[in-house]
Structure 1
Amino acid sequence: MDSTPDTSETKSPKGFAAIWPIILITALFFFWGMANNLNDILIPQFKKTFTLTDFQSGLVQSAFYMGYFLLALPAGFFMRKFGYKAVVITGLCLFALGALLFYPAAEIRQYNWFLAALFVIASGLAFLETSANPLMTILGDEKHAAFRLNLAQAFNPLGSLVGLWIGQTFILSGIEKLDAADFVREAKAVQTPYLIIGAVILLWAVLVIFTKFPRAATVNTHDADEAKLTTGQALGGLLKHKHFLMGVVAQFFYVGAQVGVWSYTIRYAQSEIGITDKAAASYVIAALILFAIGRFIGTGLLRFVPATKLLGVFAVINIALTGYAATAGGQYGLYAMVGCSLFMSIMFPTIFATSVRGLGPLTKTGASFLVMSIIGGAALTAVMGKVSDMSHIKTAIFVPLLCFVVIALYGLGSKSAKVDMTKSH
């Protein structure tokens, strides 16, 4: 690809031509929300289809978030060299490829092939998430950048809910005991949804390719000061910022807690109140609704309460909720699991914003490491699965409890600050 700007895109689009790129990029927030939360459906689906342990089924998240971990820094480099638009196109193509790989994986009924497909999807999402937030800020008047970004982020939980609905309606059958014919059908249940997703994502890539974007979206995006830094200088500079290092650790444990709680809510419901996977998916949908509500409530509270203090208080509440879920169990334990999402809502953006505060020319490099820290979703979900296999699904909830302890220490131990909540996961 050539980083030289296209002369046809040197003038800023007007009218609908200016709105259309915003629509295309806003949809990305919807798409990755859908992809992320479809994993919560795939875990119980693959567990019964391939007769897996909880640890083995949890590898769905491990493969997925490993893609984020390994591609975050390359995506940042690619973005600085070729511009935002090229990164978006690359991300969409990888996303579509991973979705289409579900078809051969289901045909040969190999779990490892599904894990590889999920890795490819996440690799694409790493490119999309690295580019979409900053890209939204330049697609229009700078005065309205925060509004555009917040509007786009509102579509993320909507995508999550649609992903769960697709999984509950078209993938989960509600059949718990399978015979020989059922195993084949259950494996192939993912084919049509993911083929459609792959086709839509490919279409979106084509639309982006043929859409004129503002010049700033297609040229080298290096910050002059950051461009002067070598990789060694950037890393050395980041190591001097204690609050940033603590933030990376807190983000690792937050994503581990979020992914772990959502991934095993269906499993918890099946174990504790004896319902089918299809019925249990409704509790994950309820959790996502609370998560969306929490974002609005939390953002409002941040106008009056210092960000790190609110983060710490919400983490303490979730320590209590996960503690109850891990010890009491039953219907009320399940309610506690679902209730965690209300208080998780502000955690990712708050940790992100407070971690990069004051980094100056190190901000872009620091942001890449914060994206990499979501490997916690892979590592700690696998730990939860292992604990569940060795003991009980209830006991596994102590893992996110410990995660919330780390987050509480970060929030309550940090200097209070009000932050701009325009960056989100």
Structure 2
Amino acid sequence: MTTSTAIARLNAADPDFARHLDHLLSWESVSDDAVNQRVLDIIKAVRERGDAALVEFTQRFDGVDAKSIDDLILGRERLELALTRITQTQRDALEKAASRVRNYHERQKQDSWSYTEADGTVLGQKVTPLDRAGLYVPGGKASYPSSVLMNAIPAKVAGVGEVVMVVPTPRGEVNELVLAAACIAGVDRVFTIGGAQAVAALAYGTESVPQVDKVVGPGNIYVATAKRHVFGQVGIDMIAGPSEILVVCDGQTDPDWIAMDLFSQAEHDEDAQSILVSPDAAFLDKVAASIDKLLPTMERAEIIKTSINGRGALIQVRDMQQAMEVANRIAPEHLELSVADPQAWLPQIRHAGAIFMGRHTSEALGDYCAGPNHVLPTSGTARFSSPLGVYDFQKRSSIIFCSEQGASELGHTASILARGESLTAHARSAEYRIVADKKGN
């Protein structure tokens, strides 16, 4: 295998820069017709046959010799056993990360509020946690205990009554770190099922799997397609695309550091995207050299190479001001401001999932233990979306209490507007509450 790369080089001064950038950023998230139909068939089967369909699909797709749904349920004692099976070092790391994630998300909690107007009318908002949330966790070798913490802890902080986790165990392969993370995060129930069938079970419920109010967590194209189809029946966090990193550097950070930061996303999968923006052309050359030097040392070198060559780029800009403009145009999932004074540039960043400030703040810290959530908007959706948080597991109800005087006063306004819309019943409903003028009839 040759490990040299041919990473794209772009220059913001080129007339075709915008077109080339758009092409680089494009990613089609829509599944093909075959995948779509297969997912619809799986969802239909789970809705119609419940547990029996889950057992059948788990046997077929995961190679698990399950006789009944009971073979696919893990109790709390199994999660606690996992804690004893991992090393003390791993347990300490999980608990420290969980503590930091919990501490950060505690600050996101929203409380109910109200205010009283002069006539006694009370208006407000009631904040209520979801009753039950479903957490999808990839299984087997591609297991991410960090995702368990990032999805389950905000739900628990929000006050969700029950967190149900689904995680496939292909060929019976159980990841003890994932189960230990579930134990630490307070997951209530675990089913060893995966794929579209797991999403369908969470969305519609079966004899054994409880129906949830929201499904969160990453997965493959079948999982993403299923989440898209069940949205409306349940809430979902997002339809996530490949992982992305954009590094903006003034040319003064160690080029080896920057190369490895780019690798940290490229190693996820071949469709991941790693982009470096800098006004220093010589620095871009140094990073390119570091990429070629360090790539052979990586365990996932082939995946990194494919990602870097296919979707990566080194972009030269006129100055740091233009770097900020390019960053906002890309709206990245992860943005590293690897510059001397990141705080000075922060006000100019309008679109980013998470912003990593300064030369020493690698994106990898955010993935695991910094505290903020690593479930972030991808594919430019940071223009209108936010990281997963406590607010995703809470709902808000409006509170309206009218005093007699308030109902009378508002009734006049409502009546005029309702009759303007030709909704007579609305008008009369409001008018019934209008207090007659004492000087009137």
TM norm. shorter chain > 0.5: no
Instruction: Please give the TM-score of this superposition, normalised by the length of structure 1.
Output: 0.22
Q: Where is the helix percentage greater, Structure 1 or Structure 2?
A: 1
Larger radius of gyration: 2
Q: Which has the higher contact order (CA 8 A, sep 6+)?
A: 1
